[in-house]
Amino acid sequence: MKALVMTTMAAAVVLIAGCEYEEPLVKEHTIAIDQALIGLWEPVPRKGVHEDEDDRMMVLRYSGTEYLIHHPMGQNSIYYRGYPIKLGGVACVQLEAIGTGEGDVEEADKNHLFHVARYAITNGVLDVRLLNEDVVSNNLKTTEELRKVFIENSGNIELFDDDPGLFRKR
């Protein structure tokens, strides 16, 4: 899945259009959220890529350890619960799809609720990358299997996709 990430967080959220898992990588959420993520983010224009205003992403504080993320914001909107995690020395965000613009997640989609993304904010640009399913297969069915493979690959430079979703605060 080298061709894109957590959606565009980032197209269907770079956050979301990519590697989907049936179980979370980490179930507990005890790490404080990063206040720098809170706000409305819009895609950074890229040469040769049409960026739609619907690709914006809203990140809200839900609790001291959780985010509520709305992305993309248009007709195909998805809502995620996100929380910071750290596993094998790798800091990232666990995402759980919790609903759409139409309401709850469809029954057919309940087996593809979880995503893992890494982010960095540099010079005001949010870089979001999804977990690479070529490294951590989305065919793994349990949290234990996911954790084992993730930790085994924690030093792998290809652990997260190399095609980032890039955003800046609006």
Give domain limits for the chain.
35-169
Q: In which residue are the tokens 């469809």 written?
A: 106
Beta-bridge partner residues of 99? 79, 104
Q: Phi-psi category of 75—alpha, beta or left, where left has phi over 0 and alpha has psi -120 to 50?
A: alpha
Confidence of residue 4 (pLDDT cuts 50, 70, 90): very low
Residues 30-39 have a mean pLDDT of 97
| Amino acid sitting at position 102 | E
Band the pLDDT of 162: cuts 50, 70, 90. confident
Other CB atoms within 10 Å distance of the CB of residue 53 = 10
Q: Report d(CA 9, CA 70) in Å as an integer.
A: 10
Pairing of strands 90-100, 66-70: unpaired
Q: What is the DSSP letter of 149?
A: H
Taking the C-alpha atoms of residue 130 and residue 16, their distance in angstroms, rounded to an integer, is 8
The model's pLDDT over 131-160, given as tens digits with 9 standing for 90+, comes to 999 999 989 989 999 999 999 999 999 999
Residue closest to 118 by CA, chosen among 108, 110, 127, 109:
127
| Residue 159 tokens, joined | 């652990």
User: Domain 35-169: which topology?
Assistant: Lipocalin (2.40.128)
Per-residue confidence (pLDDT) for residue 100, from 0 to 100: 84
- pLDDT category at 18 given cuts 50, 70, 90 is low
Whether residue 39 is predicted with pLDDT greater than 70 in this model: the reply is: yes
DSSP 7: B
The CA distance from 32 to 42, in Å, is: 24
**Tens digit of pLDDT for each residue in 44-84?**
987 777 667 778 999 999 999 999 999 888 777 889 999 99
pLDDT digits (tens, 9 = 90+) for 83-129: 999 999 999 999 999 988 777 776 545 556 899 999 999 999 999 99
Quote the CA–CA distance of 162 and 118 in Å, as a whole number. 11
Residue 110: per-residue pLDDT: 56
